[in-house]
Structure 1
Amino acid sequence: MRAHPVRRTVLTCVATVTVTVLALSLKPHHPPSAAAPPPTTQTPGATSGGSTSGTRTVTGPTVQTRYGPVQVELTLDGSRITAAHAVRSPNGDSHSREINASAVPVLDRETLNAQSAHIDTVSGATYTSEGYVGSLQAALDQSRT
């Protein structure tokens, strides 16, 4: 048996309104925003100024993510990244701490392997990964000035 045309129209309208309301209730994705970069810190015996030679430590800006702040610190020898470490990562709840306990070391290793901010996102830690890359790229940019 076929549905009555008015009933079909009503069901179609209800379905359309439901889908529209669901779509509008989704939170939009905003890319991580970077704060003003902090000054470059020098390690003992490192060169100063805008030089890209010598060993130095550069700390990227804190990037706010949906689950908390992410900030990356790099150690460079010349233009080579010799160490990468997230000095801040989301830790507001046990779930975030658990995720980042495994994701941050992966991001640190990927940075050393890539020698750039062109690293893959860690599955299950997308927001942390995006914040990490934002802070990492800003630290690399800062190291070149």
Structure 2
Amino acid sequence: MRRAVITASATAAGVVLLLSLKPHEPSTTGAISTTPAPAPAATGGTASAAPQSGGTRTLTGTAVNTRYGPVQVRVTMDGGAISKIDVIQYPTRDRRDREINTYAVPQLNQEAMAAQSAHIDVVSGATYTSDGYTRSLQSALDQAAKQ
């Protein structure tokens, strides 16, 4: 009888804790752009900026080497806000890399556009790509801050 009371109490406490968790709901605001296949590495990891009219500029983040391959982003800034993010390099060595990144890259873009920064959540199952993405994005945003 005593065991049943303890088990029931523990189960009830566990259910209450699970119900109190809030699910993560990604934002659907902002324009999202992804490049379906990686472009050739034209910059070799160097960052570049191309000023354009009306305060719009494009900054290429550093190519970040990950366990599965390099990740690099190009950010278009309109004034001080991120208006577009293109992932120009990401791992595509095998079918599994392509499968993971087809799912992860749009999520990372969506989160970064909503946050307007590189402080975003890691995509589950794409930890290395997420890390490379945030580091490359941060390098592009650091360039923007210096200009």
- TM-score normalised by L of structure 2: 0.67
Instruction: Read off the aligned partner of 2:68 and give its amino acid letter.
Output: Y
Say if 2:76 and 2:85, in contact at 8 Å, map to a contact too.
yes
Which residue number in structure 1 is paired with residue 46 of structure 2? 37
How far apart in 2 are the matches of 1:87 and 1:97? 14
Give matches, 1:57-72, under 5 Å: 57-72=58-73
Whole-Å separation in 1 of the counterparts to 2:50 and 2:56? 11
Specify the code of the residue in structure 1 equivalent to 2:57.
Answer: R
1:88: which partner in 2? Answer: 89
Deviation at 1:85, TM superposition (A): 1.8
SS class of match (2:48): coil
TM-score (norm 1): 0.68
Which amino acid counterpart does residue 93 of structure 1 have in structure 2?
D
- Say whether the 8 Å CA contact 1:41–1:59 is kept in structure 2: no
Deviation at 1:144, TM superposition (A): 1.3
2: CA distance, partners of 1:59 / 1:108: 15
In 1, Cα distance between equivalents of 2:48 and 2:84: 18
Instruction: Classify the secondary structure of the residue corresponding to 2:135.
Output: helix
Partner of 1:126: 127
What is the aligned residue count? Answer: 103
Give ranges in structure 2 of 5+ residues lacking alignment. 1-43
| Superposed structure 1 runs of 4+ greater than 4 Å apart | none
User: Following the alignment from structure 1 to structure 2, what is the Cα–Cα distance between the partners of residues 41 and 64?
Assistant: 24
Q: Which residue of 1 aligns with 2:80?
A: 79
- Give the whole-Å Cα distance in 1 for the aligned partners of 2:109 and 2:47: 20
Amino acid at match of 2:64: V
Q: Equivalent residue for 2:26?
A: none
- Cα RMSD over matched residues? 1.3
Of structures 1 and 2, the larger Rg is shown by 1
**Kept after mapping to 1: 8 A contact 2:51/2:58:** yes
Match of 2:31 in 1: none
Checking the alignment, whether the CA contact within 8 Å between 2:65 and 2:132 is kept in structure 1 is yes
Q: Distance in 2 between matches of 1:109 and 1:115?
A: 10
Query: Kindly, what percent of the aligned residue pairs are identical?
Result: 52
Q: Cα deviations across residues 41-82 of structure 1 (Å, max 9, x unaligned)?
A: 233x25xxxxxxx11111101000000000011111111001
